[in-house]
């Protein structure tokens, strides 16, 4: 299954990544190696904790958007393994 996000969501992803001092490669998320993917997910989780939860610790609108980005970036097991030059 191929995942995609809107250009607005991608802009948000780039902004959150930059805030966490992470620069997405030119090829986007699909070109990330496992360690880079983990750093990006860490930046997304940090943003979720900072602005994405309401007073009841449930995701607010921003939190739901961030959760979608986390799902898009996804666990490395669901992505092409570019570090080994093959798609799994």
Structure confidence at residue 78 (pLDDT)? 54
Cα 17 from Cα 42, distance rounded (Å): 9
Structure confidence at residue 87 (pLDDT)? 36
- Structural domain boundaries of the chain? 7-73
CB of 15 closer than 8 Å to CB of 78? no
Q: What is the pLDDT along the chain (88 residues), one digit of tens a residue?
A: 557 899 999 999 999 999 999 999 988 898 999 999 999 999 999 999 999 999 999 999 999 999 999 999 986 445 454 444 433 3
């Amino acid at each position: 299954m191929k995942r995609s996000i809107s250009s607005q969501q991608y802009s948000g992803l780039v902004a959150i990544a930059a805030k966490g001092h992470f620069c997405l490669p030119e090829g986007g998320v699909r070109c990330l190696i496992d360690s880079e993917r983990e750093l990006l997910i860490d930046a997304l989780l940090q943003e979720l904790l900072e602005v994405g939860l309401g007073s009841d610790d449930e995701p607010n609108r921003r939190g739901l958007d961030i959760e979608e980005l986390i799902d898009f970036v996804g666990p490395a097991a669901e992505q092409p393994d570019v570090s080994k030059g093959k798609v799994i």
